Chain A
Amino acid sequence: MVKNNLIHREKKRQKLEQKYHLIRRSSKKKEISKVPSLSEKWKIHGKLQSSPRNSAPTRLHRRCFSTGRPRANYRDFGLSGHILREMVHACLLPRATRSSW
């Protein structure tokens, strides 16, 4: 099991990312490309940089939701490989079966 503070750090990043999501998206796509002069681009880039670092989506790291394992996670299930295998054998994943026998 992973330390609790690491899991809470991830939750903090998720909250911040949700909060700043629209602001970041708007300044990225439309404004920077539309504005011609370089100094205005610097201004918009400055706005992007002023939002807290933990609101960047690249900082999020997926973890297994049951153990918090940072590696070997599958996006379809949100689980790490070991736990996934245990749960499949315990018949807890709907319609998941073995493909070999």
Chain B
Amino acid sequence: MGQKINPLGFRLGTTQSHHSLWFVQPKKYSEGLQEDKKIRDCIKNYVQKNMRLSSGVEGIAHIEIQKRLDLIQVIIYMGFPKLLIEDKPRKLEELQMNVQKELNCMNRKLNIAITRIGNPYGHPNILAEFIAGQLKNRVSFRKAMKKAIELTEQADTKGIQIQIAGRIDGKEIARVEWIREGRVPLQTIGAKIEYCSYRVRTIYGVLGIKIWIFIDEE
């Protein structure tokens, strides 16, 4: 029986780059990791709290952290950065203050930047949040998946595969459903594939959503 390895981890040396880029003496590696974790959690909680007031989909794709001797650079890749940019620049500063309090470090400056992703629905994290919202509102899962695929076809992608597992439609017996459009060559290391695994909490339990998007081939 085969089990699929996470395509991001599979391609780490070649087509996939790391989301944390820094160098530290090996003894301090775990402290660096703890700092990273604090930053990421802080940002995600802040975004979740504030986004609840307004529209549904927040859409953080991923958070890149680069550290140097005197500077920590955090780049947030977002699909819909309206709430953090356009409303008031205060929110970015609030975020920065929160994260600095969490970190307690006076040696290093903290700099948070937000980058907008062109084609937000070409990124699996944002798509997964979209599907999650639909499933919570009890849309039939086939419709949700097909709508998601339509959205990706507008963004340029060469293939997409969506898998939903769990108590689909609230039925007692859990099952796994998946569809695929185009081609998704998981065995080809030269193929750039974005992957996301997302959990949705519904009233019937937890559904797992996995999305593979085939972007490019070298």
Contacts and interface: CB of A to CB of B under 8 A. Distances in A.
Contacts, number: 62
Contacts of B36: 92
Which 5 pairs between the two chains have the least Cβ-Cβ distance?
A89-B9, A78-B30, A89-B6, A97-B12, A97-B13
A94 B22 contact: yes
Given A88-B9, A91-B17, A93-B20, A101 B33 contact: no
A58 to B, nearest CB: 21
Interface string B19-30: 111110010011
Instruction: Categorize the interface residue count of chain B.
Output: 20 to 34
B34 A65 contact: yes
B120 to A, nearest CB: 20
Interface of A: 65-66, 75-79, 87-98, 101
B10 A91 contact: no
B52 interface: no
Q: Which of B17, B19, B20, B23 has the most CB of A within 10 A?
A: B20
B33 A79 contact: yes
10 contacts: A87-B33, A89-B6, A91-B12, A91-B18, A92-B20, A93-B20, A94-B22, A95-B18, A97-B13, A98-B13
